[in-house]
Structure 1
Amino acid sequence: MLESLESLLLDYGYTGLFLASFLASTILPFGSEGIVVILIYMGFNIPAVVLVASTGNFLGACTSYYIGLKGRGYIEKYLRIRPDEIKKAETYFSKYGSYVLLFTWVPIIGDAFTVAGGLLRLRFLVFSIFVFTGKFLRYLAVAYFAGIF
């Protein structure tokens, strides 16, 4: 199913990339990096690909942040994040502060970081700066390595 979803999203170029990046940061268990690489190989504008993917992924993270603001009941209802993952994310926050949000792209724990940011009522501006920066740097690295190989 995910393969057919990815191929459908690829047919829509930047719009498909935006949707894939958004969904990958919220409810669907797949990454959008492959679509980034394919679009680059297809000749799409690299800065635009990086910006579109970063923006979509950031807005998906904002959705998770909002669900975290609403409380633990919403997390269990709408997201596939286990309570132990949230607890681990909160531990990282208490140890490292807001800097952990630079790593929201990390599989499994990254989504928990965004939700924990909401649960902990982190200021949205701080959340936005760290999350967007981390996601942008990740897609920039993906685009860079895609361009080399």
Structure 2
Amino acid sequence: MPVTTVTLQLVTLFAAAFGAATILPFQSEVVFVGLQLAGQIGIGWLILVASIGNVLGAVVNYVLGRGIERFRHRHWFPASEAQLDRAQRWYGRWGVWTLLLSWAPFGDAFTVVAGMMRTPVWLFVLLVTLAKTGRYAALAWATAAASG
């Protein structure tokens, strides 16, 4: 069965969205907007595939957060003790609602902290899905409005 151009485009979007949700420096918005403007794939499919990829990337962060505490005092650990304490205090104050900001550039940190704080998986997935799907829906709307 031959792989179609649309299939490759959707796989590329999924990979970009997945990578963008992890601690890797990816951006999925450019891929999303480019595919939307190309007009070969329905907007519902774009939002669905990007959202699934982005949520699964956030789940990777959550899993990393669950196991990261044991490495906290290692010299190579990517966050200082003060940064980690600040993130945990912020999460402790605002709780799971910070996950509604998981779509933002700094939101990946919240998904890691959610794992560290042992947020229930079902609640994590629900809030992150709302946030990330909402972001892609807003991006699709803005792209459609700007392109006429």
Q: State how 1:1-149 maps to structure 2 within 5 Å.
A: 12-43=8-39, 44-73=41-70, 82-83=79-80, 84-107=82-105, 109-149=106-146
How far does residue 24 in structure 1 lie from its aligned partner after superposition?
1.1
Determine the C-alpha separation between the residues in 1 that align with 2:54 and 2:93. 25
TM-score by length of 2: 0.83
- Aligned partner letter, 1:13: Q
Of 28-37 and 127-136, deviating more is 28-37
Q: Unaligned stretches of 5+ in structure 2?
A: 1-5
- Aligned partner letter, 2:104: V
Determine the C-alpha separation between the residues in 2 that align with 1:102 and 1:81. 24
- Aligned partner letter, 1:22: F
Determine the C-alpha separation between the residues in 1 that align with 2:132 and 2:26. 15
Q: What RMSD in Å do the two structures reach over aligned CA positions? A: 2.4
How far does residue 90 in structure 1 lie from its aligned partner after superposition?
1.7
Residue equivalent to 2:3: none
Q: Unaligned stretches of 5+ in structure 1?
A: 1-9
Percent identity, please: 35
How far does residue 88 in structure 1 lie from its aligned partner after superposition?
3.3
What CA deviation, in whole Å up to 9, does each residue of 1:70-117 have, x standing for no partner?
Answer: 12356899xx9524544333222112111100111211x311100101
Give the aligned length: 137
Residue equivalent to 1:3: none
